[in-house]
Amino acid sequence: MSWVSDYKYTWAERLTMQALRSCGHIPHHVAFVMDGNRRFARSQQLDKIEGHSRGFAKLADCLRWCLDMGVREVTTFAFSIENFKRSSEEVEGLFNLAREKFARLLEERARLDEHGIRIRVIGNIELLPLDLQKLVASAMLSTERNDKLFLNVAFAYTSRDEITQAVETVLLHASDDLRPEDITERLLEECLYTRHSPPPDLVFRTSGETRLSDFMMWQLSTSVLYFSNVLWPQITFWHFLASILSYQRDRWQLDDYRRAERLQSLRLAKRSEFYGERVQKFLTTIDEDRRKLLVRLASN
């Protein structure tokens, strides 16, 4: 399967992975900021697009590691809306890479179904070329019944755009049944692209940068942030294990805070009648409209 590699573990890697799995908490949801492709390309005297291609190959390894480690949901930051500022040559190169990979993914549908992998592309996909929109929508629709593993690809995404989209959704889709007091951060969270995903437990950014670059800013308020100096195409299984170990070490420090946040969220939901008919009907409408959009894009 091109999106999930057939990585061959050494005995030491396998043993360490089993050790971490057996006695530590494995994060349910890991988000990756795959930074450093171009710097890697420069260091190896390669073309930028080749750097991105190596980056994708590394993503395939990473997804295998996550699958075998027991991580159930992975989100990757593949293309930011800010990246449209890059040269048209590079942007088109990235789109071509995406076309190739999504087309390949559709060919491997059977294997995705076998593993129960669901693909979700989060972002403003209507900013993409029409043919890519079609591929993306097809990939999402063809795997929508899978529920064992979730791969979220942030493409044409920024957090600000996502939050704006959530506000826009409330303004456009809410009928007169929705009252102003129903609009809380709990409701807004359900209008984000990540509506059906839990917040990331661990956010892993490579290349030494210690910023979030407008990635999942709303969702990662309780996440362990892990920054590594390694460039994304050079990441190894040991770097991945180090992040898991770091998460296992740090998560208990955040447990009290997370518990308090969850309690606060539950209280808010109860107070604002989030589980009432009005709000739930509104959320069902959003799900239906989003699916209709995907069907429309897939049939273009």
Partner 1 sequence: MIEVLCLLLGRLLLLLVGGYELLWRIRERLNALVRWSYDHLWRSRAARELHERRVLTACRSQLTKTPQHLVLVISPSEAAVDAALLGRIFGFALDVGIQHVSVYDKREQGGGFVELAELGQSTGEGKGSCFKWPSKPKMSEGEPLNGQKTNGYVNGSHSPQLQIYQISTADGHALIADVCRELYEDRRTPMVQGLLSQKREALTEQINAMLTKRLGFVAPEPELGIVFARQTCTYGLLPWHVRFTEFHTHPSGRHFDVEAFANILSKYSRCEQRWGK
54 and 229 Cβ atoms separated by less than 8 Å? no
Buried/exposed code over 111-144 (b: 16+ C-beta within 10 A; e: otherwise): ebeeeebbbbbbbbbeebeeebbbbbbbbbbbbe
From the list 52-60, 105-113, 131-139, 186-194, the region that binds partner 1 by CB under 8 A is 186-194
Euclidean distance between CA atoms 195 and 218, whole angstroms: 12
207 and 36 Cβ atoms separated by less than 8 Å? yes
Terminal-to-terminal C-alpha distance of the chain: 27
Of the candidates 67, 132, 149, 220, the residue annotated as catalytic is: 149
Of the candidates 52, 105, 161, 297, the residue annotated as catalytic is: 52
From the list 52-60, 93-101, 169-177, 278-286, the region that binds partner 1 by CB under 8 A is 169-177
Asked if 26 is part of the footprint of partner 1 (rule: CB under 8 A), the reply reads no
Instruction: Report in angstroms how near the CB of residue 23 gets to partner 1 at its nearest.
Output: 3
Sign of CA dihedral 102, 134, 153, 38: positive
How far apart, in Å, are the Cα atoms of 128 and each of 55, 72, 147, 165?
Answer: 21, 28, 27, 16
State the angle between helix axes of 130-142 and 88-107 in degrees (0 to 180), rounded to the nearest 10. 30
From the list 92-100, 111-119, 148-156, 164-172, the region that binds partner 1 by CB under 8 A is 164-172
Applying CB under 8 A, among 209, 290, 291, 293 the residue interacting with partner 1 is 209
Applying CB under 8 A, among 60, 97, 103, 225 the residue interacting with partner 1 is 225
Task: Note if 149 is an active site residue.
Answer: yes
Task: Note if 287 is an active site residue.
Answer: no
Task: Note if 239 is an active site residue.
Answer: no
Asked if 238 is part of the footprint of partner 1 (rule: CB under 8 A), the reply reads no
Residues in the chain: 300
Asked if 227 is part of the footprint of partner 1 (rule: CB under 8 A), the reply reads yes
Asked if 221 is part of the footprint of partner 1 (rule: CB under 8 A), the reply reads yes
Euclidean distance between CA atoms 161 and 154, whole angstroms: 12
Applying CB under 8 A, among 2, 5, 16, 285 the residue interacting with partner 1 is 16
Local structure of residue 25 (DSSP, 8 states): P
Applying CB under 8 A, among 1, 141, 254, 298 the residue interacting with partner 1 is 254
Contacts of 151 by beta carbon, 8 Å cutoff, 6+ apart = 3, 63, 73, 74, 75, 76, 117, 118, 119, 120
Nearer to partner 1, 1 or 268 (CB): 268
Applying CB under 8 A, among 1, 2, 21, 141 the residue interacting with partner 1 is 21
Euclidean distance between CA atoms 246 and 252, whole angstroms: 11
Q: Which positions from 115 through 154 interact with partner 1, judged by CB under 8 A?
A: 124
80 three-state secondary structure: strand
Applying CB under 8 A, among 68, 108, 218, 285 the residue interacting with partner 1 is 218
**Which residues of the chain form contacts with partner 1 (CB under 8 A)?**
15-16, 18-24, 80-86, 124, 158-161, 163-168, 170-172, 174, 178, 180-181, 183-185, 187-189, 209-214, 217-218, 220-227, 245-246, 248-250, 253-254, 256-257, 261
Catalytic residues: 35, 52, 149
